[in-house]
């Protein structure tokens, strides 16, 4: 980052006002602590998993959550901005990213999809485009 040499007093005041009372920043840590013991939702972070590892883990998670009667699963997939897929001209640009491939994997496996009501992007509080919510059927 290049540091700006001449910062105006107006910019300094604007920054101080913003940092003292930000209105558009969500405190995810505070919200997460409130939901930490939510037994209706299972949360798992897939950062660092390869496609195959993620598919195996997602299958394991869905089957476990169905067995334990969870209502939904929050999967943190990341947005794929650090993916090295651009180097491979034969790989799909979208399906090589977990946020796209995980829902497709679930939909293409009937042993998993039969337990699913819906798969959608998470709300901004839950991770936005870097996470998905899987709603499970009641058994």
The class of domain 49-139 in CATH terms is alpha beta
Q: How confident is the model at residue 13 (pLDDT cuts 50, 70, 90)?
A: confident
Residue 16, SS3 per DSSP:
helix
Query: What is the pTM (predicted TM-score) of this model?
Result: 0.64
Nearest CA among 116, 42, 119, 124 for reference residue 79: 124
Least confident of 6-15, 17-26, 40-49: 17-26
Does 66 have pLDDT greater than 60? Answer: yes
**Domain map of the chain by residue range?**
49-139
Scored b (16 or more CB within 10 A) or e, 34-59 reads eeeeeeebbbbebeebeeeebbeebe
Q: Is 116:136 a contact under the CB 8 Å cutoff?
A: yes
- Inter-axis angle of helices 51-67 and 98-107, nearest 10: 50
Which pLDDT tens digit goes with each residue over 71-110? 999 999 886 545 554 554 434 444 457 878 899 999 999 9
């Amino acid at each position: 980052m290049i540091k700006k040499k001449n910062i105006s007093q107006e910019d300094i005041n604007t920054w101080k006002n913003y940092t003292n009372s930000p209105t558009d920043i969500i405190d995810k840590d505070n919200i997460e602590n409130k939901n930490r013991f939510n037994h209706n939702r299972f949360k798992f972070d897939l950062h660092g998993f390869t496609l195959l590892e993620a598919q195996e883990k997602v299958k394991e998670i869905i089957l476990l959550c169905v067995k334990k009667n969870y209502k939904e699963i929050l999967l943190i997939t990341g947005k794929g901005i650090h993916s090295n897929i651009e180097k491979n001209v034969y790989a799909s640009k979208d399906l090589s990213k977990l946020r796209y491939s995980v829902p497709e994997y679930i939909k293409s496996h009937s042993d998993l999809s039969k337990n699913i009501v819906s798969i959608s992007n998470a709300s901004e509080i839950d991770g936005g485009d870097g996470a998905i919510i899987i709603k499970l059927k009641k058994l």
